[in-house]
């Protein structure tokens, strides 16, 4: 349970484990349910285009997401994957939504083992492919 009293629905964890172990999805988007009492799966997708994922993040409301990010290393060093946890809180989201999502984040984040990087985004530039590459390439 989070500081806000919000719980994490069990399907949030099982969907994450499917992504991590079986690679059944490329990304999962999470949201608060209508009563703001539980975190639930909003969408799960096998779509590999990052721009499609960005299009699934609402312009005016908060979300959390995990993204199985595939990227290339330096020339001849191959490819890697890292699961990235994204906290999406756009500038124009309602203040109340930002507060509840912020105070509930840790409950969801702690439920996941195997996250390679964390990103906080208030606009699309902060969660761009370049921003993710910068984050996962830091040693």
- The verdict on pTM exceeding 0.85 is yes
1 inside domain: no
Domain that holds residue 118: 7-137
> Given the structure tokens 């969408």, which residue do they identify?
43
Separation of alpha carbons 12 and 62, rounded Å: 17
Strand partners, 67: 27, 84
Say if 2 falls within a structural domain: no
Q: What would the pLDDT profile of 88-125 be if each residue is shown by its tens digit? A: 999 999 999 999 999 999 999 999 999 999 999 999 99
Q: What angle do CA 23, 131, 97 make, to 5 degrees?
A: 80
Does residue 30 form part of some domain? yes
pLDDT in tens, 70-87: 888 767 678 889 999 999
* Overall number of domains in the chain: 1
Residue 22, Cβ density class (10 Å: 0-12 exposed, 13-18 middle, ≥19 buried):
exposed
């Amino acid at each position: 349970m989070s500081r806000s009293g919000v719980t994490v629905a069990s399907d949030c964890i099982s969907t994450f484990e499917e992504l991590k172990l079986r690679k059944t999805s490329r990304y999962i988007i999470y949201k608060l349910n209508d009563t703001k009492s539980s975190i639930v799966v909003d969408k799960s997708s096998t779509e590999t285009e990052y721009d499609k994922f960005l299009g699934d993040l609402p312009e005016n409301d908060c979300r959390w997401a995990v993204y199985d990010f595939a990227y290339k290393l330096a020339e001849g060093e191959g490819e890697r994957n890292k699961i990235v946890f994204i906290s999406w809180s756009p500038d124009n989201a309602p203040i109340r939504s930002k507060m509840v999502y912020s105070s509930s984040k840790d409950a969801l984040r702690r439920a996941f083992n195997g996250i390679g990087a964390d990103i906080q985004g208030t606009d699309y530039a902060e969660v761009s492919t370049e921003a993710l590459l910068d984050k996962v390439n830091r040693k």
